[in-house]
Amino acid sequence: MKKIMFLSIFLLILSCATNPFTGKKTLAFVSNDQLFPTAFAQYDQFLNENKVIRGTSKAEMIQRVGQRISVAAERWLNANGQQGYLTDYKWEYNLVDDPAVNAWCMPGGKIVFYTGILDVAQNETAIAAIMGHEVAHALANHGQQRMSAGYIQQGLAVAGNIAIKDEQSRQAFNQYYGVGSNVLGMLPFSRKHENEADKIGVYLMAIAGYNPDEAPELWKRMGAKSNGQAPPEMLSTHPATQTRIDNLQAEAGLAKTEAKKFGVTSFRPIGRF
């Protein structure tokens, strides 16, 4: 068991990369060279199997906002000595006909907005807040990290089953490890990613010329929409709504300061669509 743990720690150290947006070491058992082509193929399959809305004002807005946010990301990276970081990213932004209040991003920059989120967003600035969050997931390689963490979770489970010889003890280990590794490991890991994406996202939207003060307002509307129907934070993949509102309010001023470094001193009017 000690040899297995030592090998696991050694591989963990070797498989870390530093992300420029967070400045932190991140798990990278799977390279983007492997991950991106798979993600792109899955994205294309999803689009083929769902109703993609094209040519409407809202579909064009999704495209416009996505392009502005990705340009903001590139400007930030170039200004911070990370030229070429986005070389393998293939940005794509699509509006899909689905009542779910959701948007998501696959590794490499493949983004989907569902029509159901538009009524909660209410304006282009809120769309920019959502887009910034989704683009941030791609930039911070959160998909890569989640996959790597899953490998660790599975590897430790296998190691435990190999090391524990008694059948009854092995069953108890599997029962408690499954719950414990989720509640104490995977779920906090996921919530950390959501907080990172919120923070990076408001910076990107501000650099793109959108008022970051709208981000917490969006989440107030999200909270009203859900009617408080959410699991306790410690049992969720996402932070509690109030946690997100508080964090975004704290970050908005800092995002405005960062945007000024890029010549952005005023923001587009919020309005409604």
**266 in any annotated domain:** no
Distances (CA, A) of 32 to 11, 64, 83: 18, 26, 17
The total number of structural domains in the chain stands at 1
- The answer to whether the CB of 198 falls within 8 A of the CB of 215 is yes
**54 in any annotated domain:** yes
Q: Quickly list H helices, 140-238.
A: 142-163, 167-181, 187-207, 214-226
Confidence of residue 226 (pLDDT cuts 50, 70, 90): confident
Q: Catalytic residues, which ones?
A: 134
Confidence of residue 13 (pLDDT cuts 50, 70, 90): very low
**229 in any annotated domain:** yes
**84 in any annotated domain:** yes
For the record, the structure tokens of 235 come out as 């049992």
Confidence of residue 86 (pLDDT cuts 50, 70, 90): very high
Q: Nearest 5°: phi and psi at 183?
A: -70, -40
- Per the structure, the complete domain to which residue 138 belongs is given by 33-165+179-260
pLDDT digits (tens, 9 = 90+) for 98-116: 999 999 999 999 999 999 9
pLDDT at residue 22, rounded to an integer: 73
Confidence of residue 10 (pLDDT cuts 50, 70, 90): very low
Instruction: State yes or no: pLDDT of 1 exceeds 50.
Output: no
Higher pLDDT: 151 or 94? It is 94
**1 in any annotated domain:** no
pLDDT digits (tens, 9 = 90+) for 172-217: 767 766 677 667 777 877 898 899 999 999 999 999 999 999 999 9
**171 in any annotated domain:** no
Enclosing H/E stretch for 47: helix 32-49
Instruction: State yes or no: pLDDT of 121 exceeds 50.
Output: yes
3-state secondary structure of 210: coil
- The answer to whether the CB of 248 falls within 8 A of the CB of 215 is yes
Distances (CA, A) of 236 to 44, 112, 213, 220, 233: 29, 22, 26, 18, 5
pLDDT at residue 251, rounded to an integer: 97
**92 in any annotated domain:** yes
Higher pLDDT: 239 or 124? It is 124
Kindly report the pTM of this predicted structure: 0.84
